[in-house]
């Protein structure tokens, strides 16, 4: 039997990665591989740094959905894949690769995951993590200043000029394709148990 493919999407800072990891833990980490869509930003090494900085990384065009789709197909069919490693400071792929093993359950997660019809049609389950804008901004600010060394001003400006507009145009509408929308106020432990039970009932 092919692996079960679960898609988890939601806005930046919505908690989709936490949901993906908690679900994987509940299902059993040895049964699950998580494939982050944000490892698949296009390699911009052929552009100048000025040109790279001008790219809108919150638009679907910034992601290599074709490669991502091929890798999902490989994993679903029992093939390990070489996951790219992205350098967010230089906006390019690193030479290193991370081998991701094929397992019984594959969880794909990413902000713009449901903005690509060719990816949406692959998923057996589609889950959207909803969260209010204020909280998403606070989480994004903390992540980018602490983990990526960016200034408060640059993060705030990017959120206003690209993150919010692209969220409103591409991310929020994509919730319509989800089979389950997880609201921020829901108890995550309860949601994870519910989803894990649904997955296990299919795999029995």
Q: pLDDT tens-digit profile of 17-57?
A: 999 999 999 999 999 999 999 999 999 999 999 999 889 99
Confidence band (pLDDT; 50, 70, 90) for 109?
A: very high
* Residue 150 CB neighbour total at 10 angstroms: 17
Top pLDDT among 204 and 41 is at: 41
- Whether the per-residue pLDDT at 88 is higher than 80: the answer is yes
Asked if the structure places residue 100 within a domain, the reply is: yes
Asked if the structure places residue 202 within a domain, the reply is: no
Measured distance CA(92)–CA(52) in Å, rounded:
9
CA neighbours closer than 13 Å in the CB half-sphere of residue 38: 15
As given in the structure block, the two tokens for residue 12 are 């930046």
CATH number at residue 60: 3.40.50.300
The pLDDT, as a whole number, for residue 150 is 83
The pLDDT, as a whole number, for residue 1 is 61
Asked if the structure places residue 179 within a domain, the reply is: yes
The pLDDT, as a whole number, for residue 148 is 76
The pLDDT, as a whole number, for residue 145 is 87
Mean local confidence (pLDDT), 99-126: 97
Asked if the structure places residue 203 within a domain, the reply is: no
**Are 107 and 35 in contact, with CB atoms under 8 Å apart?**
yes
The whole-model pTM stands at: 0.92
- Whether the per-residue pLDDT at 204 is higher than 80: the answer is no
- Domain range for 52 is 4-197
Instruction: Report the candidate in 16, 52, 48, 50 with the shortest Cα–Cα distance to residue 34.
Output: 16
Asked if the structure places residue 204 within a domain, the reply is: no
Measured distance CA(133)–CA(31) in Å, rounded:
34
Measured distance CA(34)–CA(20) in Å, rounded:
7
Confidence band (pLDDT; 50, 70, 90) for 15?
A: very high
Of 63-72, 89-98, 195-204, where does the model show the most confidence?
63-72
The pLDDT, as a whole number, for residue 113 is 98
The pLDDT, as a whole number, for residue 143 is 87
Domain total for the chain?
A: 1
Asked if the structure places residue 93 within a domain, the reply is: yes
Asked if the structure places residue 87 within a domain, the reply is: yes
The pLDDT, as a whole number, for residue 146 is 86
What are the tens digits of pLDDT across the range 124-163? 999 999 999 999 999 989 988 887 778 899 899 989 999 9
Q: What share of the chain in percent tops pLDDT 70?
A: 99
Strands 105-110 and 4-10: parallel
Report the mean per-residue pLDDT for the chain.
Answer: 94
Asked if the structure places residue 17 within a domain, the reply is: yes
The pLDDT, as a whole number, for residue 196 is 97
As given in the structure block, the two tokens for residue 105 are 């359950």
């Amino acid at each position: 039997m092919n692996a079960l493919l679960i898609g988890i999407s939601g806005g930046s800072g919505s908690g989709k990665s936490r949901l993906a990891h908690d679900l994987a833990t509940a299902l059993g980490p040895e049964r699950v591989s998580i494939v982050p869509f944000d490892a698949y930003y296009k390699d911009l090494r052929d552009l100048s740094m000025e040109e790279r900085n001008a790219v809108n990384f919150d638009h679907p065009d910034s992601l290599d959905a074709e490669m991502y789709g091929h890798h999902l197909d490989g994993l679903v069919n029992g093939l390990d894949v070489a996951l790219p490693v992205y350098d967010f400071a230089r906006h390019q792929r690193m030479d290193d690769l991370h081998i991701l093993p094929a397992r019984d359950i594959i969880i794909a997660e990413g902000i713009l995951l449901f903005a690509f019809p060719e990816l949406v049609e692959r998923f057996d389950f589609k889950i959207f993590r909803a969260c209010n804008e204020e909280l998403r901004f606070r989480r994004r600010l903390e992540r980018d200043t602490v983990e990526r060394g960016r200034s408060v001003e640059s993060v705030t400006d990017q959120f206003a000029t690209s993150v919010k507009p692209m969220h409103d145009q591409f991310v929020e509408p994509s919730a319509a394709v989800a089979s389950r929308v997880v609201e921020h106020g829901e108890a995550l432990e309860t949601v994870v148990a519910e989803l894990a039970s649904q997955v296990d009932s299919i795999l029995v």
